Homo-oligomer: A and B are copies of this chain.
């Protein structure tokens, strides 16, 4: 009985090239060139109804979001290579061709799944940082750490949000061709902003040390928020990884102390 997981990778077809074909060359989903500029999406986004005209109006179907929701679960559980568009289509109760119609390619779908919530977290972070700055004096390290972590933590309040956090943890371990562009697009600006703010709050540290501690904080929260750790396995009943208060206290005290440690 032949069974198991499979994957394919073309030898002479670099993944980078495959990526490129994602956002370009989508004949089935042509870019609306004369569309309103604020909706730079690729197709059928449920934006406000287009200016009238003959033909069926665009954006009246909610199938697009149902595909994104189903894909989020599949990608989070099985990774990029492990996910098949057939399973996504089945879970979203649509035909497989619809996915290519809306997203052009598998990578195009992955891109939108990740960016829709990734951008949301990044925006939330920057907004909290801005509020911190508006309230006068330079913010304390603990406040900066909280502003960085809270958006991801509140995302965990819904099942879909928790799924996304698992997807995000996975993304960081995917091959560079898949992951680099996406996490840069989502997080580069906000992470750079936090690093600078942290530098000002930790003047006794070198630039290098601040970068390292940012990295360690990111690794810690990705793992702690991803539900992939072995905590409940090792300490069943003792730890409740779904209690946001518990998580917040545990991680902020640890990370803040780490940030404030004397220069190594």
Contact = CB atoms under 8 A, between A and B. Distances in A.
B18 A173 contact: no
A3 B184 CA distance: 25
A106 B5 CA distance: 9
Contacts of A184: 230, 233
A245 to B, nearest CB: 10
| A3, A5, A13, A180: residue with the most chain B Cβ atoms closer than 10 Å | A5
B238 A208 contact: yes
A252 interface: yes
A150 B205 CA distance: 24
A166 B175 contact: no
A interface residue count range (under 10 / 10 to 19 / 20 to 34 / 35 or more) = 35 or more
B253 A229 contact: no
A175 B212 CA distance: 29
A109 to B, nearest CB: 11
Contacts of A238: 207-208, 211
Contacts of A221: 219
A119 interface: no
A186 to B, nearest CB: 11
A223 B208 CA distance: 17
Copy total for this chain: 2
A38 interface: no
Contact of A8 (B84, B239, B249, B264): B84
Interface string A95-121: 000000000011100000000000000
A7 B228 contact: no
A180 B219 CA distance: 20
Interface stretch (A51-59, A131-139, A255-263): A255-263
A9 B234 contact: no
A112 to B, nearest CB: 16
A128 interface: no
Interface string A213-238: 10111111111101011110111001
A10 interface: yes
A234 B218 CA distance: 14
A223 B229 contact: no
B213 A231 contact: no
A33 interface: no
A48 B249 CA distance: 54
A41 interface: no
Interface string A18-58: 10010000000000000000000000000000000000000
Given A3-B21, A180-B230, A253-B262, 4 more contacts: A7-B81, A77-B175, A81-B81, A253-B264
